[in-house]
């Protein structure tokens, strides 16, 4: 499968990670505010190194479970504002999953939406995906609002289905089909 990076939007550049992005990734992944509703807690420097190593690895998106995570850079200042991920959940059935993590300093400016729409485009138009989902902790209203704004439909609300960080949590599942993407564009 092929896809083209970097991607330029009005305000942002979406590009592969570089080894020099370590400090920015550490700032993002070690923040308790950022990781509150994520599967992982604040990461240690050692864990961030592992995480960056994964992001530097070539990702052909041809095997179940692969994840393409791109750094999102505010072009005007060169700052790393966050990252967006497209997971190849099931290659044979062409099902993907989208994820987004932005630094709190850059929330509320539409950057996550501007970057995520490009990853949906990449998934549907370049990788030929049939369905892209988003999964989140039901308390993560910022994430639910973003998925709705992107045009995904809520398909499920699982009640206390995951034991995370010491408690049972609810999970929401959102989805968009390729045919819905075509109509939206």
Ligand X SMILES: CC(C)(COP(=O)(O)OP(=O)(O)OC[C@H]1O[C@@H](n2cnc3c(N)ncnc32)[C@H](O)[C@@H]1OP(=O)(O)O)[C@@H](O)C(=O)NCCC(=O)NCCS
**Which residues are at the interface with ligand X (CB under 6 A)?**
34, 37-38, 82, 99-102, 107-113, 136, 140, 142-143, 146, 149
* Between 100 and 181, CB nearer to ligand X: 100
* Between 9 and 66, CB nearer to ligand X: 9
The two three-digit tokens of residue 143, written as one number: 């994430």
The two three-digit tokens of residue 147, written as one number: 């998925």
Handedness of CA 76, 14, 5, 21 (dihedral sign): positive
Name the nearest CA neighbour of 132 among 100, 169, 104.
100
Residue 131, strand partner residues: 95, 177
Residue 2 CB, nearest approach to ligand X (Å) = 27
Question: What is the spatial distance between Cα 111 and Cα 109, in angstroms, rounded to a whole number?
Answer: 6
Residue 68 CB, nearest approach to ligand X (Å) = 16
Residue 141 CB, nearest approach to ligand X (Å) = 9
* Between 127 and 172, CB nearer to ligand X: 172
* Between 6 and 108, CB nearer to ligand X: 108
Residue 21 CB, nearest approach to ligand X (Å) = 17
Task: Judge whether 39 and 92 are in contact, CB under 8 Å.
Answer: no
Residue 116 CB, nearest approach to ligand X (Å) = 8
* Between 1 and 14, CB nearer to ligand X: 14
Cα-based angle 119, 147, 127 (whole degrees, multiple of 5): 25
**Which three-class secondary structure state does DSSP give residue 110?**
coil
Question: What is the spatial distance between Cα 44 and Cα 183, in angstroms, rounded to a whole number?
Answer: 43
């Amino acid at each position: 499968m092929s896809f083209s990076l970097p991607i330029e939007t009005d305000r942002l550049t979406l590009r592969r990670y570089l080894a020099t992005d370590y400090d920015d990734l550490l700032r993002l992944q070690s923040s308790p505010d950022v990781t509150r509703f994520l599967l992982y807690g604040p990461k240690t420097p050692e864990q961030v190194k592992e995480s960056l190593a994964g992001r530097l690895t070539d990702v052909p998106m041809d095997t179940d479970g692969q994840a393409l995570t791109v750094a999102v850079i505010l072009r005007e200042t060169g700052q790393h504002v966050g990252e967006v991920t497209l997971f190849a959940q099931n290659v044979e059935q062409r099902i993907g999953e989208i994820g987004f993590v932005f630094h709190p300093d850059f929330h509320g400016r539409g950057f996550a939406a501007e970057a995520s729409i490009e990853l949906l485009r990449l998934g549907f138009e370049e990788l030929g995906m049939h369905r892209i989902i988003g999964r989140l902790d039901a308390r993560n209203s910022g994430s639910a609002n973003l998925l709705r704004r992107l045009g995904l439909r809520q398909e499920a609300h699982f009640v206390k289905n995951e034991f995370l960080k010491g408690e049972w949590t609810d999970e929401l599942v959102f989805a968009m089909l390729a045919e819905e993407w075509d109509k939206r564009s």
